[in-house]
C-alpha cells in the first residue's frame, strides 16, 4: 500500500510505518550488538590457482542475534551504510581481525593475509592512521592485512580517494578492488590506483561457462588485470567448470564454495591444519 495523499498531506499506510519501524529496530539492535559482543567474523580462504596454496582469507561479518540466529551482512550492512553506523562496525571488524591475526601468529600458524571489507563511508583521510595504529597495537606486519574496497567507493571525489589509497599502500597494506565491473568507475583511473588485486564479482562468475557475456566479461577483467600488472581473483566459484575456465583464462586466485564456505575462526583454524592449507 502506498501513502495516500489528501489536501497535500501524506498519510502513511501501516506498511510504510512498519518499514520505518523495522529499520529503527535494526539500527538500535545493531548499536546494541556492537557494544555487547554480538558481532562475529567468518573467514573464507582464498587460493592460488597455480599451486592450490592458501594465499589469504576474507573476513565477513555476521550478527549473532539472540532471537534471530546468525544474521547475514546483507540484512544489516546496507542499513548501517545508510545511517553511518557502518563506521563503528568497520572499526570493530578491523580490531577483531587484527586481534585474530595476533592469536594465530602467536599459535605459530603460518601467516596468511587477512582481508577486511571497507565501505565508502569508512574511506576517510582518518583511515590510514587508524589502520597503522591498529597494526602497531597488535604487533602485525602490514603485509598481512588487505583492504577490499568496492567500486562505489571510487565514485565520490576520486582525487581524495586516490590520496587515501596511496597512504594505505605506503604502509605496506594491500588494496583490492571488490565487485569489479559492477559499478561505473572509469577505466582511465584504474592505472592510478595503487591496488594489488582486481576481484571479479560473483555475478559474473555465476554465469561461467554457460553465459557467453559473463565469460567475455571475466576474461576481459583478467586481461585488464594482466596488462596493468595487477593480480586477479574470482569470487563465488562453485563448480569445477568455472574453475577450469578461470585457470585456462589466466586468473590468479579463487575463492568460493567449491573450496570452502566462510568459516567461524575455530573451524577455519582446524581446516588450516587438517586440510593442509597452510
Ligand atoms: P562481498 O564482499 O562481495 O563478499 C562475498 C559474498 O559472497 C559473501 O557473502 C560470501 O559469503 C559470499 N560467497 C563466497 N563464496 C560464495 C559462493 O561460492 N557462492 C555464493 N553463493 N556465495 C559466496 P556475505 O558474507 O553474506 O557478505 C555479503 C556482503 O556483505 C559482502 O559482499 C560485503 O559487501 C558485505 N560485508 C561483509 N562483511 C563486511 C564487513 O565486515 N564490512 C563491510 N563494510 N561489508 C561487509
Ligand atoms: Ca569482499
Ligand atoms: Ca562481490
Ligand atoms: Ca560487495
Q: The C-alpha cell of 41 is what?
A: 567474523
Query: What is residue 275's predicted lDDT score, i.e. its pLDDT?
Result: 83
Query: What is residue 217's predicted lDDT score, i.e. its pLDDT?
Result: 96
pLDDT block averages, 10 residues each, the chain of length 278: 50 67 88 95 97 96 94 95 95 98 93 96 96 98 96 86 97 96 80 95 97 97 96 98 98 98 97 82
Name every residue whose Cβ is closer than 8 Å to that of residue 119 and which is 6 or more positions away in sequence: 77, 81, 86, 90, 150, 153
Ligand 1 cavity residues, CB under 6 Å: 44, 60-61, 72-74, 77, 86, 90, 93, 117, 119, 178-179, 202, 235-238, 256-257, 262
Ligand 1 atom nearest residue 238's Cα: 18
Four-residue CA torsion sign, 59, 115, 124, 158: negative
Q: What is the DSSP letter of 278?
A: -
Query: What is residue 1's predicted lDDT score, i.e. its pLDDT?
Result: 38
Distance 24 CA to ligand 1 centre (A): 24
Q: What pLDDT digit, counting tens, does each position of 121-180 carry?
A: 999 999 999 999 999 999 999 999 999 999 888 887 889 999 999 999 999 999 999 999
Ligand 1 atom nearest residue 60's Cα: 38
Give the ligand with the smallest distance to the CA of 180: 3
Closest C-alpha residue for ligand 1 atom 35: 73
Query: What is residue 14's predicted lDDT score, i.e. its pLDDT?
Result: 63
Closest C-alpha residue for ligand 1 atom 45: 117
Q: What is the largest CA-CA distance in the chain?
A: 71
Closest C-alpha residue for ligand 1 atom 10: 262
- Backbone phi, then psi, for 274, in 5-degree steps? -80, -40
Amino acid at each position: 500500500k502506498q501513502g495516500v495523499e489528501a489536501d497535500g498531506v501524506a498519510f502513511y499506510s501501516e506498511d510504510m510505518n512498519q518499514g520505518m519501524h523495522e529499520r529503527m529496530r535494526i539500527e538500535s539492535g545493531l548499536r546494541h550488538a556492537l557494544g555487547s559482543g554480538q558481532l562475529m567474523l567468518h573467514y573464507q580462504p582464498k587460493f592460488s590457482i597455480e599451486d592450490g596454496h592458501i594465499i589469504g582469507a576474507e573476513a565477513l561479518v555476521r550478527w549473532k542475534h539472540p532471537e534471530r540466529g546468525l544474521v547475514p551482512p546483507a540484512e544489516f550492512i546496507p542499513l548501517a551504510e545508510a545511517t553511518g553506523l557502518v563506521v563503528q562496525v568497520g572499526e570493530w571488524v578491523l580490531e577483531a581481525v587484527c586481534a585474530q591475526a595476533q592469536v594465530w601468529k602467536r599459535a605459530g600458524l603460518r601467516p596468511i593475509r587477512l582481508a577486511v571489507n571497507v565501505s565508502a563511508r569508512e574511506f576517510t583521510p582518518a583511515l590510514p592512521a587508524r589502520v597503522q595504529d591498529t597494526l602497531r597495537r597488535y604487533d602485525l606486519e602490514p603485509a598481512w592485512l588487505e583492504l577490499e574496497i568496492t567500486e562505489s567507493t571510487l565514485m565520490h571525489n576520486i582525487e581524495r580517494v586516490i590520496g587515501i589509497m596511496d597512504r594505505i599502500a605506503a604502509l605496506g597494506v594491500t588494496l583490492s578492488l571488490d565487485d569489479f565491473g559492477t559499478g561505473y568507475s572509469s577505466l582511465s583511473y584504474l592505472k592510478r590506483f595503487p591496488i594489488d588485486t582486481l576481484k571479479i564479482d560473483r555475478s559474473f562468475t555465476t554465469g561461467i561457462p554457460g553465459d557467453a557475456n559473463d565469460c567475455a566479461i571475466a576474461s576481459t577483467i583478467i586481461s585488464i588485470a594482466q596488462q596493468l600488472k595487477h593480480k586477479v581473483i574470482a569470487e563465488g566459484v562453485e563448480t569445477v567448470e568455472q574453475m577450469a575456465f578461470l585457470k585456462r583464462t589466466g586468473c590468479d586466485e579463487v575463492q568460493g564454495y567449491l573450496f570452502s564456505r566462510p568459516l567461524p575462526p575455530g573451524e577455519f583454524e582446524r581446516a588450516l591444519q587438517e586440510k593442509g592449507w597452510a
